[in-house]
């Protein structure tokens, strides 16, 4: 139906006849001449109708925003002074000779021809219109270029694209499963995969050697952060490799992706041990563009009379850390109060600080409500340790280690943004040497990565599991985890040891993961892999504010689809077929659960 895309016409088409199809982006009537901006996925072309051709002129007069039309006309140079240098087609216009109305359109719920601050609910309800906006179309196009780039790269490196099932058994990645009832096996359920983890490992046992898949994963999590219940991973696994065999090609892939699609040369990827990342940045996904660091001061305050500091300083599970903010002395009382509220979100009970007015005056040159509790000696020692300068502000966190890390880690990032202290555009890194496990308050161990990650030392795993390090690695960019993976366990005995450490007894392990344990017995090669979060990668590359903006049809924060109204109720017959009887859930009980 068309000879060109609207966005594709330019000076090389002058005097040619073209046929364009698209949506009426805007219609203007200028002294008896009608201008239609015609839009398709490639851009916008200006089409002019004048009264010399009465029939198309009248049709053009009747079209409205978002009508679907086909036009035929001749490309000509725009009259001098009317060119639009901001538009790729801005040097030319089409003199319309024919117009066919292909479809009318109701008035859209929000204008598509200009930026308007529409609530996200409305955008999601009318997503098919929202996606018409050039900005959203451009993001989808970019995403498609990313996936095709990645496919080409991995194909070139002899990775094989293999699909794995969506109806499967639980794969533990630390979230709740989405369950699907089985009609043919009453009372039994499939789980949607939290990742293809076990299948890709089984493919290694099968000899696939190098696998990849752009795979949908499902995790029923509370969606506080910018997460989605279904999201896409670029999932990779390879046999006969060590850490380098995965990290090196993946780093190359990301580096070349940025070079090719964004013309960005990423700096070197430093490797940072997990313990160091937590110590210096309070986070295992540090934003290295921010030049602020946490400094431990527990030893300096362990014997002061100030319980708020000495308590955590003497607790093996506590931490006392300082965060020096150069020139932070300019912060107002109100700003400091706001930051105090901010760290409260992470469980911090307060936010102590010292203002450094004049270092040369010693204690006299400082200003803080806590100095009288800390005493001069400890205060001076802190000032020395953080190498305070005139004009600085020093914030403190004193609590359980994880509270301090989360609170000061988040504060560090927030200050970096608020005070405009971001250095450079891109700061990638690898975080390595993760612990195998995390201990909860009850002393129970949980896998930090997932239970299939290999330990650095089998002996350590046996004797001091809580301290054992794993062979896991995460790729981090600008404070966002882009991907993560590990070298896997490839022998049954070690796998059983990890299950045991996690409190999964042999019988349960057999029942849940019997197929994996069997596979490990039949000649499993050493192997490892990683998965990138595609949505986050595209979000970072496009500068979008949320992963919802790079997912064509995302769910809301409460995991619903406003457009299709999913999840929805099903009729009694379907439930009966599935042998399901619903327990009456009171509306307010439901509300409480969600709250
Ligand atoms: N399956 C892991 C995840 O989803 C990635 C990996 O270990 O390859 O995080």
CB atoms within 10 A of CB 512: 15
What predicted TM-score, i.e. pTM, was given to this entire model?
0.94
Q: Distance from the CA of 195 to the center of ligand 1, in angstroms?
A: 7
C-alpha distance across the termini of the chain, in Å: 52
Ligand 1 atom closest to the CA of 235, numbered from 1: 8
Query: CB of 346 within 8 A of CB of 403?
Result: yes
Q: Residues 6 or more apart from 414 whose CB is under 8 A from it? A: 339, 342
Place of tokens 């050039």: 134
Predicted local confidence at residue 174, as pLDDT: 85
Ligand 1 within 6 A of CB of 201: no
Query: CB of 346 within 8 A of CB of 410?
Result: yes
Which pLDDT tens digit goes with each residue over 116-170? 788 999 999 999 999 999 999 999 999 999 999 999 999 999 999 999 999 999 8
Ligand 1 within 6 A of CB of 232: no
Query: CB of 290 within 8 A of CB of 297?
Result: no
Place of tokens 């880690």: 409
Ligand 1 within 6 A of CB of 489: no
Which pLDDT tens digit goes with each residue over 240-257? 999 999 999 999 999 999
Distance, in Å, from the CA atom of 519 to the CA atom of 490, rounded to the nearest integer, reads 9
CB atoms within 10 A of CB 556: 15
CATH for 290-423, among 3.30.1360.30, 3.50.50.60, 3.30.70.1170, 2.40.10.10? 3.30.1360.30
- The separation between CA 540 and the C-alpha centre of its own chain, rounded to angstroms, equals 8
Ligand 1 within 6 A of CB of 195: yes
Per CATH, the number for 6-103 is 2.40.50.140
Ligand 1 within 6 A of CB of 531: yes
H-run or E-run covering 181? strand 179-181
| Strands 428-432 and 271-273, bridge-based pairing | parallel
CB atoms within 10 A of CB 251: 16
Domain ranges of the chain: 6-103, 290-423
Predicted local confidence at residue 587, as pLDDT: 58
Nearest to 21 by CA among 63, 70, 64: 70
Q: Distance from the CA of 215 to the center of ligand 1, in angstroms?
A: 11
**What does pLDDT average to in each consecutive run of 10 residues of the chain (595 residues)?**
97 98 95 94 96 95 97 97 94 97 96 85 96 94 98 98 95 90 95 97 98 97 85 98 98 98 98 98 98 98 96 97 97 97 97 96 95 95 97 98 97 98 97 95 92 95 93 98 98 95 93 95 98 98 95 95 95 94 71 48
CB atoms within 10 A of CB 318: 18
């Amino acid at each position: 139906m068309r000879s060109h895309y609207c966005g594709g016409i330019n000076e090389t088409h002058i005097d040619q006849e073209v046929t364009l199809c698209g949506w009426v982006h805007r219609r203007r009537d200028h002294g008896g001449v009608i201008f239609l901006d015609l839009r398709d996925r490639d851009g916008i072309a200006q089409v002019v109708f004048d009264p010399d051709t009465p029939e198309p002129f009248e049709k053009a007069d009747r079209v409205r925003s978002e009508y679907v039309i086909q036009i035929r006309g001749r490309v000509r140079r725009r009259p001098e002074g009317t060119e639009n240098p901001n538009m790729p087609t801005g040097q030319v216009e089409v003199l319309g000779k024919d117009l066919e109305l292909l479809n009318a359109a109701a008035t859209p719920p929000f204008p598509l021809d200009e930026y308007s601050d529409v609530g996200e609910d409305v955008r999601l309800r009318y997503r098919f219109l929202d996606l018409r906006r050039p900005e959203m179309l451009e993001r989808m196009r970019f995403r498609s270029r990313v996936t095709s780039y990645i496919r080409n790269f991995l194909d070139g490196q002899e990775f094989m694209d293999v699909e794995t099932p969506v109806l499967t058994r639980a794969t533990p990645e630390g979230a709740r499963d989405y369950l699907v009832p089985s009609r043919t096996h009453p009372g039994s359920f499939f789980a949607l995969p939290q990742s293809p983890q076990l299948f890709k490992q089984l493919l290694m046992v099968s000899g696939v050697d190098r696998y990849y898949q752009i795979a949908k994963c499902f995790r029923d999590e509370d969606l506080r952060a910018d997460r989605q219940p279904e999201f896409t991973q670029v999932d990779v696994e390879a046999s006969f490799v060590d850490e380098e065999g995965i990290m090196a090609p993946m780093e190359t892939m990301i580096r070349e992706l940025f070079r090719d699609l964004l013309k960005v040369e990423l700096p070197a990827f430093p490797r940072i041990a997990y313990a160091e990342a937590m110590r210096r940045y309070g986070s295992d996904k540090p934003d290295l563009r921010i030049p602020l660091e946490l400094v431990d001061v527990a030893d300096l305050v362990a014997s002061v009379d100030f319980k708020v500091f000495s308590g955590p300083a003497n607790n093996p599970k506590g931490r006392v850390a300082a965060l020096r903010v150069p020139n932070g002395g300019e912060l107002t009382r109100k700003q400091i109060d706001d930051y105090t509220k901010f760290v409260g979100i992470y469980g911090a009970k307060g936010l102590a600080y010292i203002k450094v007015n004049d270092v040369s005056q010693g204690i006299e040159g400082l200003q803080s409500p806590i100095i009288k509790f800390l005493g001069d000696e400890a205060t001076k020692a802190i000032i020395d340790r953080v190498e305070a300068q005139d004009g600085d502000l020093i914030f403190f966190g004193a609590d359980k280690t994880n509270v301090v890390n989360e609170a000061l880690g988040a504060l560090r990032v927030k200050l970096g943004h608020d005070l405009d202290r971001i250095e450079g555009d891109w700061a990638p890194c690898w975080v390595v040497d993760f612990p195998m496990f995390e201990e909860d308050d009850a002393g129970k161990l949980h896998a930090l990565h997932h239970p299939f990650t290999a330990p650095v030392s089998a002996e350590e795993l046996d004797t001091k599991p809580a301290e054992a390090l794993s062979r896991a690695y995460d790729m981090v960019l600008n404070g966002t985890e882009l991907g993560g993976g590990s070298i896997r366990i490839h022998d049954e005995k070690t796998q059983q040891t990890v299950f045991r450490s996690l409190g999964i007894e042999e019988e349960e392990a057999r029942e849940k993961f019997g197929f994996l344990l069997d596979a490990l017995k039949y000649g499993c090669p050493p192997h490892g892999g990683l998965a990138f979060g595609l949505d986050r990668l595209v979000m970072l590359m496009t500068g979008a504010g949320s992963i919802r903006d790079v997912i064509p049809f995302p769910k809301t924060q409460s995991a619903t689809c406003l457009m299709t109204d999913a999840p929805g109720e099903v009729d009694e017959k379907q439930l009966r077929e599935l042998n399901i009887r619903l327990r009456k859930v009171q509306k307010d009980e439901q509300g409480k659960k969600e709250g």
